[in-house]
């Protein structure tokens, strides 16, 4: 028998109401289909785990890529790689062993990552301008690497925030379509550009859409971006507590609020959407809890909820997984910045 918390029951009833109104559905299971696997990620001897940003799966399905910010100290949040020689772009095998790393000295605050159809790796630097030293040529960029770390392309003006076609203001995330078209969430700051930028595979600017605000097609802190199998663009509009869905020309298709306060979005190959909520609490999103919500990408129905397992969320705000990825066996990997953990969640049912 499934046991539901009051908040889960409310969410289920809300889903019924939305069904009657023709909207997307939401529910959450009282029993998690996952268990945590502690200390899965094994860094080289002598390296401590830094804050973990986005996590994604390699095109071969057998490796996990993660942004691991360099300095493991908690007092450098927002600029952990500024003075470090450690590699922030790290590739793991499914046993948690590091098989590749690169990017030393190229980022101040690496944040988003995606792997394109050719296996190339795209990484964003979402550092705020206040954390860029004078004269530094890092930040406000998106960098494309080969699978072994060769720099293939840079987008943005190094170290300079911009609102024009060539500029970014703390780009938070990136997704590359199967045909090579690039979509970038620009950006991390709630009062920044708040737009999606679209580029060709050659790096030529095509278009952008969005601005700061609350209406459909407006954003406050685009923290995540991903694409489903049908080519729709899903944007984690975090400070507005919603996901917005668009076609590739920027036409608004739908808004989903049943996934909490979305920090990260991932699609598996089975029609499921996984949304990491790292911030819901009594202040940021009252009535909701941190964790990972799993749902049907077509209906929006939330089928499972993996609650953040360590402590009362009212005392642990911002400590949950900001990003999530899922391997071919259905196991999840959560990037947790403040606890400095790359957490594996093994599927058990």
Instruction: Count the residues in the chain.
Output: 349
Residue 325, CA distances (Å) to 33, 82, 256, 329 in order: 16, 26, 20, 12
pLDDT in tens, 126-183: 999 999 999 999 999 999 999 999 999 999 999 999 999 999 999 999 999 999 999 9
Confidence tier at 317 by pLDDT (50, 70, 90):
very low
pLDDT at 298 over 70: yes
CA torsion, points 239, 221, 301, 315, in degrees to nearest 10? -50
Rounded to an integer, the average pLDDT of 201-217 is 98
- Residue 31's pLDDT is 66
Residue 142, CA distances (Å) to 110, 154, 185, 308, 328 in order: 9, 6, 10, 30, 27
> Regarding beta strands 332-336 and 341-347, do their DSSP bridges make them parallel or antiparallel, or are they unpaired?
antiparallel
Confidence tier at 334 by pLDDT (50, 70, 90):
very high
Long-range contacts of 19-26 (CB under 8 A, 24+ apart): 23/300, 24/254, 24/256, 24/258, 24/299, 24/300, 24/301, 25/258, 25/299, 25/300, 25/301, 25/302, 26/258, 26/259, 26/295, 26/300, 26/301, 26/302
Confidence tier at 230 by pLDDT (50, 70, 90):
very high
Domains of the chain, residue spans: 1-31, 32-288+297-347
- Residue 16's pLDDT is 39
- Residue 24's pLDDT is 47
Please tell me whether residue 14 adopts helix, strand or coil conformation: helix
| Cβ neighbours for 99, distance < 8 A, ≥ 6 positions apart | 63, 91, 92, 93
Name the percent of the chain lying above pLDDT 70.
Answer: 88
- Residue 282's pLDDT is 79
| Element holding 335 (H helix, E strand) | strand 332-336
Rounded to an integer, the average pLDDT of 251-263 is 98
Q: Rounded to an integer, what distance in angstroms lies between the CA atom of residue 342 and that of residue 257?
A: 26
- Give the pTM: 0.90
pLDDT in tens, 59-94: 999 999 999 999 887 678 899 999 999 999 999 999
- Residue 71's pLDDT is 84
- Residue 74's pLDDT is 65
Q: Is the peptide bond before 187 cis (omega within 30 degrees of 0)?
A: yes
- Residue 186's pLDDT is 98
Q: What would be the CATH architecture of the domain defined by 32-288+297-347?
A: 6 Propeller (2.120)
* Residue in this structure with the two tokens 């949950």, named with its chain if needed: 320
The most confident of 32-41, 116-125, 307-316, 339-348, by mean pLDDT? 116-125
């Amino acid at each position: 028998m499934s046991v539901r918390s009051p908040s889960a029951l409310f969410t289920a009833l809300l889903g019924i109401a939305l069904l009657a109104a023709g909207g997307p559905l939401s529910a959450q299971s009282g029993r998690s289909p996952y268990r945590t696997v502690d200390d899965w990620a094994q860094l080289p001897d002598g390296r401590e785990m830094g804050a973990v940003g986005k996590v994604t799966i390699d095109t071969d399905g057998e490796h996990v890529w993660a942004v691991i910010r360099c300095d493991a100290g908690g007092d450098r949040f927002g600029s952990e790689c500024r003075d470090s020689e450690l590699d922030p772009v790290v590739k793991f095998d499914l046993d948690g062993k590091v098989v590749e790393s690169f990017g030393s000295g190229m980022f101040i605050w690496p944040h988003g990552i995606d792997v394109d159809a050719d296996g190339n790796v795209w990484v964003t630097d979402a550092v705020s301008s206040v954390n860029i030293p004078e004269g530094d040529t890092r930040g406000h960029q998106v960098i494309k690497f080969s699978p072994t770390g060769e720099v293939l392309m840079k987008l943005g003006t190094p170290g300079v925030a911009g609102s024009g076609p060539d500029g970014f203001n703390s780009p938070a995330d990136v997704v590359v379509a199967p045909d090579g078209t690039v979509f970038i969430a620009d950006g991390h700051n709630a009062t920044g550009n708040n737009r999606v930028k679209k580029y060709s595979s050659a790096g030529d600017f095509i278009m952008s859409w969005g601005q700061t605000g609350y209406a459909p097609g407006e954003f406050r802190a685009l923290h995540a971006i991903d694409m489903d199998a049908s080519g729709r663009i899903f944007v984690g509009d975090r400070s507005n507590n919603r996901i917005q869905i668009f076609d590739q020309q920027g036409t608004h298709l739908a808004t989903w609020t049943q996934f909490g306060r979305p920090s990260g979005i991932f699609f598996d190959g089975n029609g499921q959407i996984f949304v990491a909520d790292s911030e819901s609490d009594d202040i940021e999103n009252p009535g909701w809890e941190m964790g990972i919500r799993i749902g049907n990408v077509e209906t929006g129905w939330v089928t499972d909820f993996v609650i953040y397992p360590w402590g009362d969320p009212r005392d642990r705000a911002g400590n949950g997984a900001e990003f999530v990825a899922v391997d071919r066996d259905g196991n999840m990997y959560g990037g947790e910045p403040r606890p400095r953990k790359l957490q594996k969640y093994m599927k058990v049912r």
